[in-house]
Amino acid sequence: MKIKLFFLFVIFFVIFLLAGCGARQSTAETQDLIVFAASSLTDAFNELAETFEAQNPGVQIVLNFASSSQLAAQLSEGAAADIYASANPAQMQAVIDAGRIKASTDVPFVSNRLTVIVPADNPAGITALEDLTRPGIKLVLAVDGVPVREYTDEIVAAMTADFQAAFYSNLVSEEDNVRQVSAKIALGEADAGIVYTSDVTPDIADQVRQITIPDDQNVIATYPIAPITDASHPELAQKFIDFILSQEGQNILARWSFDPPTTN
């Protein structure tokens, strides 16, 4: 009799544990929001995600960073995502053309400018954009198709033919995304690179020096964001976008050296 009671107790105890585990699992379930974002947004979006998660228990932001062109290609091929944040309108349009984003649902959420960066000790003595055309300068840019490279090419296209020829003749390396350009200069592996001002982040600020590109030579980089048409969590996706566009979201972006959105 005592043995039977013991086994009954064990059975009920196991059932109780399983029920408890099930309850904990159900309350611990999270909604994963998959966000594809340009690599230049890495630090800012990590903070945006952390803040949004704290305000929305049960939500986890899954961030996928790469060049906008790489992300656009992945989305066009059917990669699962809820939101796409691009570093230029051209790559956003590519995803719209692929049918993954509805036309006119994309909105500009931030803007940026380009800057020349050199190693902190500036061994080549670069002081202006024009110095990048001097013979022997080792220049690093992002690869063709990446937004920061397209913006760079736009700047160079406005220069003289001699400037263009000398500039591109100094190109020694092309990187997959803008953060790789920043890293290469921070490590002193080249004389100069062109990145966004927001890419001079605290972790490399003491390893590089910025050489400002004057406004009359520079371009404004416009970043659009949009929900994916077949997003798993469309309402949550819009809520995160609204948060990014809110004053709180814009303040976070500003802390990472981004400018307010512009349609110019």
Domain 28-111+222-255 matches domain 112-212 at the CATH topology level: yes
Domain 112-212 top-level CATH class: alpha beta
Q: For 175-197, b where at least 16 C-beta lie within 10 A, e where not — what string?
A: bebbbbbbbbbbeeebbbbbbbb
pLDDT tens per residue, the chain (264 residues)?
A: 444 444 444 444 444 444 444 433 334 578 999 999 999 999 999 999 999 999 999 999 999 999 999 999 999 999 999 999 999 999 999 999 999 999 999 999 999 999 999 999 999 999 999 999 999 999 999 999 999 999 999 999 999 999 999 999 999 999 999 999 999 999 999 999 999 999 999 999 999 999 999 999 999 999 999 999 999 999 999 999 999 999 999 999 999 999 999 865
Look up the pTM and report it: 0.84
3-state secondary structure 144-208: CCCHHHHHHHHHHHCCCHHHHHHHHHCEEEEECCHHHHHHHHHCCCCCEEEEEHHHCCCCCCCCE
What pLDDT does residue 3 have? 47
What is the structure's pLDDT at 263? Answer: 60
**Per-residue pLDDT, 200:** 95
User: Judging by beta carbons within 10 Å of its beta carbon (0-12, 13-18, 19+), is residue 251 exposed, middle or buried?
Assistant: exposed
Name the phi and psi angles at 186, rounded to 5: -60, -35
pLDDT at residue 7, rounded to an integer: 46
Domain extents for the chain?
28-111+222-255, 112-212
pLDDT of residue 29: 78
Calculate ∠ Cα 115-51-34, nearest 5°: 80
From the candidate CATH numbers 3.40.190.10, 3.40.50.2000, 3.40.50.1980, 3.30.2350.10, the one assigned to the domain spanning 28-111+222-255: 3.40.190.10
